[in-house]
Amino acid sequence: MKKIAVIGYGVIGKRVADAIALQDDMELTGVCDIISDWRIQNAVRKEYDIYAATAEAANKMKSEGISVKGSMQELLKKADLVVDCTPKKIAAKNVQIYKEKDIKYIVQGGEKHETTGHSFSAENNYKSAINLDATRVVSCNTTSILRTLTALKRADLLDYARGTLLRRATDPWESHLGGIMNTMVPERDIPSHQGPDAQTVDSDLDVVTSAVKVPETLSHMHYWNVKLKRQATKEEVLNALKTSSRIKLIQYDQGLVSNNTIKEMFLDMGRPWGDMYEVALWEDMLKVQGDELFYAYVVDNQAIVIPETIDAIRALTGIETDGAKSILKTNQSLSIA
Ligand SMILES: NC(=O)c1ccc[n+]([C@@H]2O[C@H](COP(=O)([O-])OP(=O)(O)OC[C@H]3O[C@@H](n4cnc5c(N)ncnc54)[C@H](O)[C@@H]3O)[C@@H](O)[C@H]2O)c1
């Protein structure tokens, strides 16, 4: 049983920790953070072992009545692999520690590809991550791009793709701190970074993205124009997309007309935090015109990278060398149909 540590128990870290705890071929050794408030109390309630990243944090946690198991160094000694879910740039600094300790590590999409030299998206390049020392699970937007375009590529339909991303302003729990209102803020540069980021996983993809930040917090939404290699039918395209178990085809005509209605459906389904691990792509909206394809989908930025991270753990530790088997196992544990 591989022992996995989670550093950074925030939006992504708390979800990764729960997902690890659900697996039968890995165990959660502990979670490590610097916070001592209600957020880490959630981990206390779940009876996870708690470690403090600094001496100061350890003292603060203890003063709040939290039983601290030890320091980050002590946690690392017990683990076979660490998943670093700290904010952008902090993980890149921690990498030095992981290298010194000779422990395998996974970082999240806020870090640069160069931090690990390998970027991961399960349905695209699981095989290339097997037994590596490190990888980076690409960001939420990039994961969605890779899932959809990889499915079209597998069916030999994809020539090139051009996408416009509507990006959520901030995460819901942090809405009191910032985020935009009554405006839309386009990114200065085209391409935005997500297209080139997808190419760190699959350099063959011809993909260009533009992005605009919008005043809501539930999810991202993407609009894509794709040039197909040949004229195709809508059915062929849908069959290609159906080869991904992590794309959920949804129907506008079933009342799923917005990101809030989709979120409500996932809450009704009983998913933790209403998490949607899948890309929710509108089947009835999707349009094929000759060799051109048009579609739109919603990305739950807080959730989509969770199954990817579980698969990355299996690949790096080598506990499963068949990507399809890992994906299936992860899907079953998270109730992804
Ligand atoms: N939030 C998203 O929608 C989202 C989606 C995909 C990927 N990501 C990526 O995941 C990573 C984490 O993002 P997040 O949104 O979960 O951040 P977050 O701010 O919600 O959580 C980060 C956690 O790390 C803790 N932390 C800070 N410094 C630390 C240290 N030195 N040692 C230990 N813990 C420390 C913080 O206290 C916090 O609990 C980033 O790379 C981000 O780009 C985020």
| 257 and 234 inside one domain | yes
Residue 109 Cβ inside 6 Å of ligand 1? The answer reads: yes
Same domain, 321 and 295: no
Q: Is 182 annotated as a binding residue?
A: no
Residue 137, ligand 1, Cβ within 6 A: no
Q: Which backbone phi and psi does 273 adopt, to 5 degrees?
A: 55, 15
CATH number at residue 215: 3.30.360.10
Question: Active-site positions?
Answer: 140
pLDDT in tens, 52-106: 999 999 999 999 999 999 999 999 999 999 999 999 989 999 999 999 999 999 9
Evaluate: CB of 49 within 6 angstroms of ligand 1: no
Nearest-atom number in ligand 1 for the CA of 39 is: 39
Reported as a single tens digit per residue, the pLDDT across 10-28 is 999 999 999 999 999 999 9
Which pLDDT belongs to residue 100?
Answer: 96
Cα 12 to middle of ligand 1, angstroms: 6
Residue pLDDT, tens place only, 192-217: 999 999 999 999 999 999 999 999 99
Is the same domain home to 292 and 146?
Answer: yes
Same-domain status, 34 and 147:
no
Average pLDDT over residues 311-323: 98
- Does residue 144 sit in the same domain as residue 226? yes
240 and 292 share one domain: yes
2 CA from centroid of ligand 1 (Å): 23
145-171 per-position pLDDT tens digit: 999 999 999 999 999 999 999 999 999
Does 337 score more than 90 pLDDT?
no
Which residue puts its alpha carbon closest to atom 41 of ligand 1? 110
Question: pLDDT for 270-282, tens place per residue?
Answer: 999 999 999 999 9
Give mean pLDDT, residues 287-299: 98
Q: What is the number of other CB atoms lying within 10 angstroms of the CB of residue 131?
A: 10
Same-domain check for residues 295 and 313 = no
> Domain of 74: which CATH number?
3.40.50.720
Question: What pLDDT sits at residue 126?
Answer: 98
Q: How many domains does the chain have?
A: 2
Which string of b and e fits 180-202 if b means at least 16 CB within 10 Å?
eeeeeeebeeebbebbebbbbbb
Residue 106 burial (CB count, 10 A): 28
**Helix or strand (DSSP H, E) at 57:** helix 55-63
Q: Give this complex's ipTM.
A: 0.99
| Residue range(s) defining the domain that contains residue 234 | 140-299
By CB atoms closer than 10 A (0-12, 13-18, 19+), residue 89 is: exposed
Q: Is 305 in the pocket of ligand 1 (CB under 6 A)?
A: yes
Are 145 and 273 within one domain?
A: yes
| Whether residues 126 and 149 fall in one domain | no
90 CA to middle of ligand 1, Å? Answer: 9
- For residues 302-330, average pLDDT: 98
User: Residue 141, annotated ligand binder?
Assistant: no
Give the pLDDT mean for 290-314. Answer: 98
> Does pLDDT of 329 surpass 90?
yes
Whether the CB of 70 sits within 6 Å of ligand 1: no
CA of 111 to the centre of ligand 1 (A): 11
Q: Which amino acid is at 305?
A: V
148 and 203: one domain?
yes
